[in-house]
Amino acid sequence: MERLRSSPLHANISTALDKHLEAIHVVQARRKEEIVNASSRQRHGPPRCQDERVVLALAVALRALCQATRKVRTVLWCAFQMSLPK
C-alpha cells in the first residue's frame, strides 16, 4: 500500500501490525505451554491448579489476539481506503 501511495503510511498502522504479530507469538507460546503441561500431567498425575493457570493464560492470550485482530483489520481497511485513487 505504501508503494501505491508513494509515501509511508501512518505509524499507527505499523504499530498495529507489530502488536498483532506479538499477540500471535504469545498465543503460540501459551499453546506450547499447555501442550507440555498436558503431556507431563499424563505422566505424573493431575495437578489441577497448575493446569487451570495454563488454560487461563491461554484464554487471556486469545482474548488479546482477538482484540489485536479486530484493530489490525480496521487499520488495514483504513490504509487501503487511503491508498485508493481519488
End-to-end CA separation in angstroms for the chain: 15
Residue 60's nearest CA partner among 33, 35, 23 is 23
The three grid cell numbers given for residue 70, joined into one nine-digit string: 479486530
**pLDDT for position 7:** 73
Per-residue confidence (pLDDT) for residue 10, from 0 to 100: 83
Report mean pLDDT in 10-residue bins for the chain, 86 residues: 69 93 98 86 60 90 98 94 82
What does the pLDDT read at residue 85? Answer: 79
Specify the pLDDT at position 8.
Answer: 77
